[in-house]
Amino acid sequence: MSRPSAGTAGEPFSLLLPVYRADSPAFLRRAFASATSQQTRPPAEVVLVRDGPVPPELAAVLDELAAGSAVPVVRLDLPQNRGLASALEAGLARCSHELVARMDADDVSLPHRFAVQLPLLDGEVDTCDVVGSALEEFSGSDDGGETTLAVRTPPAGHDAIAVRARFHSPFNHPTVVYRRSAVARAGGYRDLPLLEDYWLFTRMIATGSKAANVAEPLVRYRVGAGAYARRGGLRLLRSELLLQRHLLAEGFTTPAQFVRNTAVRGGYRAVPEGLRRLAYRAVFTRRPSA
Backbone φ and ψ for 97, nearest 5 degrees, come out as: -120, 155
What does each of the 290 residues of the chain score in pLDDT, given as a tens digit?
544 444 446 899 999 999 999 999 999 999 999 999 999 999 999 999 999 999 999 999 999 999 999 999 999 999 999 999 999 999 999 999 999 999 999 999 999 999 999 999 987 667 899 999 999 999 876 555 788 888 999 999 999 999 999 999 999 999 999 999 999 999 999 999 989 999 999 999 999 999 999 999 999 999 864 454 455 577 889 999 999 999 999 999 999 999 999 999 988 787 665 655 555 555 555 555 54
Q: Where are the alpha helices (DSSP H) in 207-272?
A: 234-249, 255-270
- Residue 247 is predicted with a pLDDT of 98
Beta bridge partners of 49: 18, 76
Q: Which domains does the chain have, with CATH numbers?
A: 13-224 (3.90.550.10), 225-282 (no CATH)
Is the CB of residue 6 less than 8 Å from the CB of residue 116?
yes
- Residue 4 is predicted with a pLDDT of 46
- Residue 83 is predicted with a pLDDT of 95
- Residue 229 is predicted with a pLDDT of 46
Q: Is 54 helix (H, G, I), strand (E, B) or coil?
A: coil
Q: 122: Cβ–Cβ under 8 A, 6 or more apart, which residues?
A: 10, 11, 13, 99
Helix/strand/coil (H/E/C) assignment for every residue in 120-160: HHHCCCCCCCEEEEEEEEEEECCCCCEEEEEEECCCCCHHH
- Residue 5 is predicted with a pLDDT of 43
Torsion over CA of 267, 22, 74 and 196, rounded to 10 degrees? 10
Q: 281: Cβ–Cβ under 8 A, 6 or more apart, which residues?
A: 150
DSSP letters along 158-178, please? HHHHHHHTTTS-SS-GGG-EE
- Residue 286 is predicted with a pLDDT of 59
- Residue 268 is predicted with a pLDDT of 77
Q: Is 95 helix (H, G, I), strand (E, B) or coil?
A: coil
